[in-house]
Amino acid sequence: MRKVNRWLSLMAIGLCVTLLGCSQDASRQDSLPKLRKRLAVDEVNAQSPLMITSLDMDQNGLIPEAFTFYGQNRKPRFDVVGQPESTVTFAMIMEDFDAPGDSPFVHWVVYNIPVKEINGAILPTPNSVVGKNSTDNLDYYGPHPPPRDKPHHYHFQFFAVKKRLLLEPGATRDQVVDALQTSVVAKGEFEVTYQSP
């Protein structure tokens, strides 16, 4: 009888240890950092900052409806300054951080923009290349947040690149970001918001 009681006690201790371990593992899982959306500008390292201004809207302001899907879907113009002398081309990626899903919605991708063609131009310029947006089209897709949704934040992200990217037309956002990893010398972003009418 004494052996049976001892065996039962050992079984109880083992069960408690197992449950404690499972509880600690669950607690550890809960404490792990959650994966979050990342903008392209957060995925690419660069030593120097770029200063971005727009001829059509204000930094941290509202994007005029004419440049949205609800308006004329016009392409905004930008000026970029502060690039290092080693800059050969620019790349630009526009993303909506507040779109549903695990990744930002990609509205516009343009790369291999010559330095002399960037400022004040309507992209794409004659010698630049257009990538694929989240609608699988090679064009600008203006802000188009759902009706009654909260204001969305749109990030025009510019990268100064020390060479031409070896990418064919229609490259995806991720392909451009991967190509930028070893060739970016400066970066900057221009942020605006928009809420559906």
Q: How far apart are CA 107 and CA 29, in angstroms?
A: 34
Q: How far apart are CA 176 and CA 120, in angstroms?
A: 23
pLDDT in tens, 148-169: 999 999 999 999 999 999 999 9
Percent pLDDT > 90 in the chain is: 79
Return the domain boundaries, the chain. 1-32, 40-194
Q: What is the mean pLDDT of residues 172-182?
A: 97
Burial class (CB in 10 A: 0-12, 13-18, 19+), 114: middle
Residue 74: per-residue pLDDT: 98
The closest of 78, 74, 68 to 159, measured between CA atoms, is 78
Pick the CATH number of 40-194 from 2.30.110.10, 3.20.20.140, 3.90.280.10, 1.20.120.550: 3.90.280.10
Residue 37: per-residue pLDDT: 81
Residue 120: per-residue pLDDT: 96
Whether this prediction's pTM lies above 0.75 is answered by yes
pLDDT in tens, 23-66: 433 333 333 344 468 999 999 999 899 999 999 999 999 999 99
